[in-house]
Amino acid sequence: MKLGPWQLPGRVLLAPMAGITDLPFRRLCRRFGAALAFSEMVTSDTSLWGSAKTLSRLRHGGEPPPVAVQILGNDPAAMAEAARRNVDLGAHVIDINMGCPAKKVCRRAAGSALLRDESLVGRILEAVVQAVPVPVTLKIRTGWDPDHRNAPRIARIARESGIALLTVHGRTRACGFAGEAEYETIRLVKQQVDIPVVANGDIDDEEKAAWVLQFTGADAIMVGRAARGRPWIFRHIDHFLERGRRLPPPGRGWIGAVLLEHLEALYEFYGERHGVRIARKHIAWYSRDLEGGAEFRRQINAVHSAGEQRRLIESFFLGNAGRQAPASGEATPGGMPHEFRGDIHAIQ
């Protein structure tokens, strides 16, 4: 699939997720096969860009191109300026958020609240497309609520405004993340426009990914929550789509090696104190399906240093011998599927 001048290497994309898709996680997912990884949303109010949180979201050092940055706001001029500023900072793709269902976002008439004002949608899209020389993409929901599913009309506005790619999460804003995603609307959207359409929502394994692509006719799929603690899911899905069979699941030791390298990147990116706190949620996701995980999480949530986190992770995932995560070029711990050999490198 092409996105402007970029030929994407696969059909599985990482969704933008606030508090999750920071630079360390995006780089990890890209290495494990994500064709594109969107940043956490960045406000279009550039007066707020001095905060530590926003500054971290504007960092792209070492991120493989194309770098995709999502912006959020409701004023066409401000959105255009934010797009220009992000391109100056290294963005190769600008994504516009019209899908966030969070109350604090919708109260400001941003995110999915914009779907209620189709005229404003058009003005924002046109302003941003005209402001930057890079591809502009759009992420939406199917509508504000089940009685107002207007995604097909929004899709036509997007096409006419010059949007290069459209992602549709198969729920309305009112649905939040409850219930099952409705793919019928995504299929209808794909039938309405001739730009690439990406299907998003409840895609959590290989068979589901293949079915969604077939049912909706979408050009690609986007994985969000299912990638938490499983950054290798992109390669698993791509392998299934190409060969029709699953890769074997990674072993416990191999998962531990990936987690340790993820944590080292977090400590470096945020500093040890903040990195340790950020790491806790990722540790919970990596360990959620493993025997003894509940007790392990109780223990590790009580520690406050990187060294203590490493020690407990080495013991839980790699055994009491406390084997270290592999350095670049070294073999990974036991349990690694053959197809992954050589894929674990330090996140520099």
Distances in Å between the alpha carbon of 33 and those of 13, 218, 279, 281?
Answer: 9, 19, 22, 22
**Mean pLDDT across the chain, nearest whole number?**
90
Side by side, the strands of the sheet bearing 136-141 are 12-14, 220-223, 197-200, 165-169, 136-141, 93-98, 68-72, 42-43
> Which positions are annotated as active-site residues?
100
pLDDT of residue 155: 98
- pLDDT of 178: 85
Residue 23 DSSP class? H
**CATH class of the domain defined by 2-243:** alpha beta
Q: What are the tens digits of pLDDT across the range 11-70?
A: 999 999 999 999 999 999 999 999 999 999 998 887 777 677 777 778 888 899 999 999
- Beta-sheet pairing, 197-200 with 220-223: parallel
Q: pLDDT tens digits, residue range 139-157?
A: 999 999 999 999 999 999 9
Q: Which two tokens stand for residue 333?
A: 């711990």
Confidence at residue 59, expressed as pLDDT on a 0 to 100 scale: 83
**CA–CA distance, 185 with 304 (Å, rounded to integer):** 46
Run of H or E including 95: strand 93-98
pLDDT digits (tens, 9 = 90+) for 82-137: 999 999 999 999 999 999 887 778 767 688 899 999 999 999 999 999 999 999 99
User: What's the pLDDT score for residue 109?
Assistant: 67
Question: Can you tell me the distance from the alpha carbon of 173 to that of 146, in angstroms, rounded to the nearest whole number?
Answer: 9
In the chain, where the domains are located: 2-243, 252-340
Statement: residue 327 has pLDDT above 90: no
pLDDT at 321 over 80: no
